[in-house]
Amino acid sequence: MDHIAESNINRQVHAITSTVGMAKVAAMKLRVALVNPMCNVTCIDAFVEPDSWLGLLPEGIDAVVDACDQVKAKTAIADWARHSKAIFVSVGAAGGKRHAHKVDVADIGEVSHDPLLAKVRYLLRRSHGAPKASKKMGVSCVFSREPVQSSDASCAPQEDNTLNCHGYGSVVSVTATFGMCAAGWVLDKISQATGEVQGKPI
């Protein structure tokens, strides 16, 4: 339910002049095919909703990376991850960040400088029984320890639980680092799980 715009070209690998206006999922499928034509990509052109997102997952998944910015959906996915013990990482907000070296991965209870993940953490504690006293909540997150640099002081989680991004800018070195950190974390966890199943040290 999202289409490529010119403003995506600076930071999204499937966004180029010839794909402007194309559905992002379709453009990404084409981009993946250029890297590995044998890769099986299933495109679902729909928004992630709190009540229906689990039905979007295919059978036999190895891991889930949450990169949505809708607070209610993000909270529902994180709550599922806490209880399922799946290999899962939630990606925070890269907007308003400039320094790639400040990006880190930690439990959501230890995340700082991220209003989107802070809202998710609050809702997990308030409505989903997550521990209030413990810093460890069982949800790994990619985030930046850099304070948000915004040209608009009104940018913050809104009453409708969405993140108003007007006034935020993003820089490709930071968004790329968020993605690489999420991918690297997932690959590490899969390799650890594979080693445990095969009885081999990693």
Over residues 119-167, the pLDDT tens digits come to 999 999 999 999 988 789 999 999 999 999 865 544 455 455 444 545 5
Same structural domain, 40 and 137: no
Which residues are CB-neighbours of 38 under 8 A, at least 6 positions away? none
Same structural domain, 193 and 104: yes
Place of tokens 């800018």: 169
Same structural domain, 139 and 161: yes
Same structural domain, 29 and 101: no
Same structural domain, 31 and 1: yes
- What's the pLDDT at 169? 77
- How many CB atoms are located within 10 Å of the residue 173 CB? 15
Q: Which structural domain range is residue 3 located in?
A: 1-45
Same structural domain, 92 and 166: yes
In a domain, 109, yes or no: yes
Same structural domain, 145 and 164: yes
Q: Looking at the DSSP assignment, which residues form a beta bridge with residue 65?
A: 89
**Residue 137 in contact with residue 88, Cβ under 8 Å?**
no
Same structural domain, 155 and 60: yes
Cα torsion through 193, 142, 102, 168, rounded to 10: 160
Same structural domain, 88 and 15: no
- What's the pLDDT at 134? 78
Same structural domain, 62 and 99: yes
Tens digit of each residue's pLDDT (9 = 90 or more) over 50-86 = 999 999 888 888 999 999 999 999 999 999 999 999 9
Q: Looking at the DSSP assignment, which residues form a beta bridge with residue 66?
A: 90
Strand order from edge to edge, sheet including 64-66: 64-66, 88-91, 140-144, 103-107
At residue 193, does pLDDT exceed 80?
Answer: yes
Number of domains in the chain: 2
At residue 44, does pLDDT exceed 80?
Answer: yes
In a domain, 149, yes or no: yes
CATH number reported for the structural domain that contains residue 122 in this entry:
3.40.50.720
- What's the pLDDT at 92? 97
Same structural domain, 40 and 101: no
